[in-house]
Amino acid sequence: MSAAGLFGLKGPTNDTRVKAGIVLHMKKAVVILSGGLDSTTCMGIAQEAGYELYPITFDYGQRQRREIENARQVAEFYGVSDRHRVISLGFLKEFGGSALTDESIEVPPAGESGAVDSEIPITYVPGRNLLFLSIATSYAEVSGAEAIYIGVNALDYSGYPDCRPEFIRKVQEVMALATRVGVEGGPIRIETPLIHWTKAEIIREGMRLGVPYQLTTSCYNGQEEACGVCDSCRLRLKGFADAQATDPVPYRTGKE
């Protein structure tokens, strides 16, 4: 199947809008949307920047199944359900090797992430962001998007090799060489607006933009309510506390 067929598109498009008799060409951005706090904030940032949003979500067999439905709800909130794509990467669950995809590996409480080689947490999914960006690049090229937004953060997730600035820079270089638009002089940009922000800074910006945090989930575990004790929950709760704001999602424990 062609990339256009996979994403439900007929080929590169150049959508236009008419305002006051003037034809406007809408710029487009693919947003890698997990259904979590960071990626949903990227939706708001990209929208404010004037982009037409093309969200893409990946079902890689993650333990937290609810985030896929959260992503659908976020896409609906922004009025772009028709352009939202959910792509299956089930082989990542078959590979295992991460507490997020392998049920035999327990999700550790905050501060006990079972680092591999004394640095990389057990919640790291091998190759995940590399795959995400590769497929998002295909969607961007087919849809005529000029940017890809991804909510990587080097402060909260410095232990993840695929959340670091040097990783993003290298992928950007490869994209310029490996795509038609890149070879023709118009490479697709990777936008990482959150990469050097604290969680509190992300939340404050999201609140300013009216980002629907009530529709998001950050928990690594698969329960209906967030566990409140995994690394991701604790980072989120601390972020809201530091931003002097109330997290709108329910927690089973750990919120005190």
163 carries a ligand binding annotation: no
Percent of the chain clearing pLDDT 70 (strictly above) = 84
pLDDT at residue 111, as a whole number: 57
40 carries a ligand binding annotation: yes
User: Is residue 196 assigned to a domain?
Assistant: yes
What domain count does the chain have? 1
User: Is residue 111 assigned to a domain?
Assistant: yes
143 carries a ligand binding annotation: no
User: Is residue 132 assigned to a domain?
Assistant: yes
Per mean pLDDT, which range of 58-72, 95-109, 135-149, 214-228 is the poorest?
95-109
Instruction: Check whether 166 has a pLDDT greater than 70.
Output: yes
User: Is residue 136 assigned to a domain?
Assistant: yes
13 carries a ligand binding annotation: no
219 carries a ligand binding annotation: yes
Domain residues for the domain of 149 are: 3-212
33 carries a ligand binding annotation: yes
233 carries a ligand binding annotation: yes
The predicted-structure confidence for 97-129, as pLDDT tens digits, reads as follows 888 888 888 887 765 554 434 478 888 899 999
162 carries a ligand binding annotation: no
Q: Is 88 helix (H, G, I), strand (E, B) or coil?
A: strand
- CATH number for 94: 3.40.50.620
User: Is residue 64 assigned to a domain?
Assistant: yes
| DSSP per-residue letters across 18-72 | EETTEEEEPPEEEEE--SSHHHHHHHHHHHHTTPEEEEEEEE---S-THHHHHHH
